[in-house]
Amino acid sequence: MSSTLFERPPGARPVAIKILIAGGFGVGKTTLVSTASEIRPLRTEGARSEAGHALDDVTGMQPKESTTVAMDFGRITFESNIVLYLFGTPGQKRFWFMWEGLARGAVGAIVLADTRRLTDCFGAIDFFEQRRTPFVVAVNHFDGAPRYGEARVRVALDLDPGVPIVMCDVRRRESAVQVLIAIVEHAMRLKGSRRT
């Protein structure tokens, strides 16, 4: 079913798909939206406050002075007239109350993971599992971060066998786009299997 989604006849009506991008603080959600988006992305970045400095664990990260406080928004259109609307969620726990509204109408989600801080994506995984939202885990390769294979990541995150894991570098457009294709294909596969 997924291959037919991207192989649609010319002139077919556009298909709009809402995708959420979630994960821990500083994992690359804003970067993924910015890299993949064909439009200038909407960002709701704010300077980290002194209180935020005390709350946010930045172990293993480069210094980060801003953070997403509401959402990031971008759009990408595929030649087959499929339009993905990308919604990046805030990463800090104190902003998670916004996830519920952002998740409404989402076809699927991407959980970004950083191998230096894998536990930071547990909240996002739990959120999507509880709502039965199809998701993929995208392991963002940061410079100097340890590299682990899919099997080790799956065990460390206690993922069901059917959850796809994608290795990526969201600073590179082709890599970011492959992650987006992975979630659309996964969501369509699940939708097709639930019909039968």
**Domain limits of the chain?**
15-41+70-194
Q: Which residues contact 47 (CB under 8 A, 6 or more apart)?
A: 65, 66
Mean pLDDT of 103-131: 95
Q: What are phi and psi of 97, to 5 degrees?
A: -60, -20
Domain 15-41+70-194 CATH assignment equals 3.40.640.10: no
Confidence of residue 177 (pLDDT cuts 50, 70, 90): very high
Q: How confident is the model at residue 38, as a pLDDT?
A: 96
Q: How confident is the model at residue 1, as a pLDDT?
A: 35
Confidence of residue 171 (pLDDT cuts 50, 70, 90): very high
Q: How confident is the model at residue 9, as a pLDDT?
A: 74
Q: How confident is the model at residue 10, as a pLDDT?
A: 74
pTM for the full predicted model: 0.83
For residue 34, the one-letter residue type is S
Confidence of residue 102 (pLDDT cuts 50, 70, 90): confident
Q: How confident is the model at residue 63, as a pLDDT?
A: 56
* CA pair distance 86, 78, nearest whole angstrom: 13
